[in-house]
Amino acid sequence: MSEHRHVRFEFNDGFQFARMVVTPLVLAAPWVLLWHVLFVKGWHSSRDADEPIINAILPLIGSAHVFLASFLFFKETDDIREMKHAVRDCDKPGSKERFLAIAEDRIPLPLRYIQFTTAAVVLGWTMSLYYASYWTGFASVYSVGYVLGLISEVIADFDDPFHGVWVIRGVPEDWIREAHVKQRLSDRVFERLLG
């Protein structure tokens, strides 16, 4: 009779948490810099021109982004549950193969492209709006950029059961060695920066 293993899905370490907080700040910074240049040069819309953007364009594209992000969150959390079940039943035939198949499966590039495009369009329209105060515009663009970057980072973390902020504990070492999962670019950059 097989022993029921306790498998956790939990916070990895402080480095990963710092990466998750800092990466969206870095991703939003170029957008804010571009907005700053546009604001200083006076290249923004008027209040009247903003009406269709606020009432139609941003809600439509924002809803598309939220729908896609929700779908990806659901898919990735479902994958995590399946991997946890495979680790829990590691002594059963086929568990390792099921785990590896899910762990090595990545979010398809077209979905990532749509996610990036909808986020960029929402941010672009946010940048184009008229802001009477510099700091209101700065805060709006930076906060929208940060949240969109954070959503992207969290989805990417769920796609990586070994290196992300939230990881599966208790995976047999030989399974980890056999899995063809590359460390994320942001992890590699942060590790190189921190030495």
Residue 4 resides in a domain? no
Tokens of 5: 């293993």
For the segment 109-130, what is each residue's pLDDT rounded down to a tens digit? 899 899 999 999 999 999 999 9
Quickly tell me which residue has 């086929």 as its tokens: 94
Instruction: Give the separation between CA 143 and CA 149, rounded to whole angstroms.
Output: 10
Domain range enclosing 159: 9-194
Residue 183 resides in a domain? yes
CB 189 within 8 A of CB 131: no
Residue 1 resides in a domain? no
Quickly tell me which residue has 């970057």 as its tokens: 149
Is the whole model's pTM more than 0.85, yes or no?
Answer: no
**Residue spans of alpha helices (H) in 89-194:** 95-104, 109-128, 134-158, 173-178, 185-194
Residue 136 resides in a domain? yes
For the segment 67-93, what is each residue's pLDDT rounded down to a tens digit? 999 999 898 888 888 888 888 888 888
Residue 2 resides in a domain? no
Total structural domains within the chain: 1
End-to-end, the C-alpha distance of the chain in Å comes to 47
Residue 76 resides in a domain? yes
